[in-house]
Structure 1
Amino acid sequence: MKTIVSLFVFLSAVFASELPEEFDKLLYEKGEKVFEKKCMECHEKYMDIPLLMKNFIEENNKLLNLKAPTGNEISFRLKQQIGSRDDMEFHLHQTNDFLKDYLYNPDLSKTICLEGVIRHFKVMPSMKGKITEEEIEEVNHFLYFLEGFNGVNNYFHKEELELK
């Protein structure tokens, strides 16, 4: 029995160490709930990149008829376009500041999306009075970790895949 418990503790420590210390599961889950409640009217949470590319490049958004960029597109672009990824904690602050500014004062000149994607959408309405700064911080944490840095998502999982 001691061997099993020791093995479990060891494996837990190994797998836990793979997550960056900046990742907060509770904050991620809160952000996901805020995203689902306040953002999914327009933004899908996640779609495979090859499908999105086909939709925008080959089908002129007629395949999916998306209203706005997906969460994983935003996640990727936030990390690519905003600030410096050298310090993850500071980068989270930078992306949070950007989101707060963009959500309260949206403007096409501030977009982080590619021209081939953004041309299919109107500028979003201001979320001032509809989302709090605390909720923006939660959504930022969710979006930041929604899509991994190298195209691999270490934190988000699709529940339907677990049921198989």
Structure 2
Amino acid sequence: MHLKRVALMTAAVVSIGFANMGGEKLLEKHCTSCHMASNPTAEKVKHMVAPPMWGIVRHLKKRLKGKEEYIAFVSSYIMSPSKENARFTKEAIARFGLMPSMKGTITEKEARIIAEYLYNTY
């Protein structure tokens, strides 16, 4: 029984690691052309076309209740962004506008992987 539990725990840790690796690659491929993954320099701030990832994640973690609500919101928003569903300030929306829908570019499963990666990383 103990060995079975250890095997299950090991499998869970490995699968989380793979999800995070996949999340990082998906983020780089689909998101970082607009959203900076690291802190922007003063020069980069002038040319930002979207808020940096850490800012989005910090903002949403304050407003959403826990990991599951965060993942559900972010993965849904990635696929269908709208002013009605936006959790960002009017100033941020005025500056950057709404992000384009990623529907047709990524799958819903990939959107969830990205959302989970963001939650776990930032």
On whether the aligned pair clears a TM of 0.5, the verdict is yes
Report Cα offsets for 1:107-133 as digits up to 9, x if no partner: 123222334433210211111111112
Aligned mate of 2:83, from 101, 105, 108: 108
Provide the secondary structure at the position in 1 that maps to 2:100: coil
Q: How far apart, CA to CA, are the structure 2 residues paired with 1:71 and 1:63?
A: 13
- Counterpart of 2:104? 129
5+ long unaligned stretches in structure 1? 1-20, 56-60, 85-90, 148-164
**Preserved contact between residue 75 and residue 115 of structure 2 (Cα < 8 Å):** no
| 2:52 pairs with 1:70 | yes
**Structure number, greater radius of gyration:** 1
Distance 1:118 1:47, change over 3 A: farther
Q: How far apart, CA to CA, are the structure 2 residues paired with 1:34 and 1:25?
A: 14
2:58 maps to amino acid: F
Aligned-pair identity in percent equals 29
Provide the secondary structure at the position in 1 that maps to 2:55: helix
Query: TM-score scaled to structure 2, two decimals?
Result: 0.74
5+ long unaligned stretches in structure 2? 1-12
Report Cα offsets for 1:75-110 as digits up to 9, x if no partner: 11221112x2xxxxxx32211211232122211232
Mapping of residues 9-88 of structure 1, within 5 Å: 24-47=16-39, 63-82=45-64, 84=65
Distance 1:65 1:96, change over 3 A: same
